[in-house]
Amino acid sequence: MGLRGKDLIEVRGLEPAEIELILDTAESMKEIASRAIKKVPTLRGKTVVNLFLEPSTRTRTSFEIAGKWLSADVVNVSGSASSVVKGETLMDTAKNLEAMSPDCVVIRHAMAGAPHMLARALRAAIINAGDGAHEHPTQALLDLLTIREKKGHLDGLKAAIVGDIAHSRVARSNIYGMRKMGMTVTVAGPPTLIPPGVEELGVKVAHRLEEAIRDVDVVMMLRLQQERMQAALIPSLREYARLWGLTLDRLAAAREDVLIMHPGPVNRGVELAPEVADSRYSVILDQVANGVAVRMALLYLLIGGKPAEAGA
C-alpha cells in the first residue's frame, strides 16, 4: 500500500485511506524522535530540495529535520517570489532543479498554484509546503495526527476553525482533511474574512465566536495577518481581538476536554490570549513535534520506495 500520486499538493485529492496511511506511518516515525541517535538510513542517497520562496523558518526547519533523520541529503534554496520574478522565473528554477535530479522538491510559495506548475515540470516528487491561500497539506496532516493522538479517533469529532478563513491555506487543507475523516467543521470569523461559497466545502458558518466553539472537541485559531486592516477587511486589531480573540472566559463555553490548536506563529493577545496559549487545553507544541513525524512519513511514502522513473 502506498500513495497514489507522485506528489502531495492538495489534501483535496487524498482518499481517506491515504490519510490514514500517512497518519499511521507518522505515528511509527515518532519513535525515532525519542532516540539518542535520531537517524535511520532509509533515504540514503536521496536528495530533497527545500525550495522556500516565501520565508518560513518553522516549516523549512521541520522538513529539513525530517529529511535528515531519514538520512536524505537536504538542500535549502530560499528566496522570495519577487526576487524570482526579477531574475529567474519559477519555470527556470524548475528546469535548473530538474537538471540536478532531486528526488523530492518541497516548495513554499506565496502564490496559489505554484506547486502544480512544478509538479507538471519535474519528475521529482513535489510536496506543497504552502501555496498562497490555497493549501498547506502537511500542516493539516499534522493537525489531524495531533487530534487523533489526543482523542483516539477522528470520526464524529467537531471542530471550529476561527479567524481569517479567506486568506488561510491552513483552513482549506484542514477543512478538506477533517471532512474526509468524518469530522464536522464550523468556520467562524468576521464576514469579510469568510470567503464566498465556503459552505460548499461542507462546513457551517458562524459569525460569533461563542456560537462557533460551543460543544466542539477542537478549536483551531488562525493567525491574523496585520495587513488585513489596510484592505478594510477589519477596522482594527483591537476590535478583532475583542470580538474574535480566544480568552479563558470565552473558553468556558467550550467542552471541558477541548483542544486548542494554532498553526503558529501565535499573535499573543490578538487571536489567542497568552493564558489560553499556555493552558492545559493547548496542544500547540504537540503540533510542532508531530510536524516532523508527518513530514518524515511523507518523504518515506513518496520517495522511500521505487525511483519515480521506474515506477508505474
In sequence order, what are the residues at sequence separation of 6 or more whose Cβ sits closer than 8 angstroms to the Cβ of residue 283?
146, 150, 259, 260, 261
Binding residues among 192-251 for another protein as defined by CB under 8 A: 195-198, 200-201
**DSSP alpha helix (H) spans, the chain:** 16-33, 57-69, 81-86, 90-99, 114-121, 137-151, 169-180, 209-213, 237-244, 248-251, 274-277, 284-303
**Counting Cβ atoms within 10 Å, is residue 252 exposed (0-12), middle (13-18) or buried (19+)?**
exposed
Dmax (CA) of the chain: 58
| Using rule CB under 8 A, residue 191 touches another protein | no
Instruction: Please tell me the distance from the alpha carbon of residue 43 to that of residue 45, in angstroms, as a whole number.
Output: 6
Near another protein by CB under 8 A: residue from 83, 89, 101, 279: 89
CB of 91 to another protein, least distance (A): 5
| Using rule CB under 8 A, residue 103 touches another protein | no
Q: Which residue has the cell 498554484?
A: 113
Answer whether 125's CB lies under 8 Å from 302's CB: yes
| Using rule CB under 8 A, residue 65 touches another protein | no
CB of 112 to another protein, least distance (A): 4
Tell me, residue by residue from 18 to 47, as one string, x for binding to another protein by CB under 8 A and - for no binding: ---x--xx-xxx-xx--xxx-xxxx-----
Residue number with CB closer to another protein (17 or 248): 17
Near another protein by CB under 8 A: residue from 55, 156, 235, 307: 307
Binding residues among 247-306 for another protein as defined by CB under 8 A: 297, 300-301, 304-306
Answer whether 217's CB lies under 8 Å from 258's CB: yes
Which residues bind to another protein, rule: CB under 8 A? 1-2, 12, 21, 24-25, 27-29, 31-32, 35-37, 39-42, 70, 81, 85, 89-91, 109, 111-114, 116-117, 131-135, 166-167, 169, 172, 195-198, 200-201, 297, 300-301, 304-307, 310
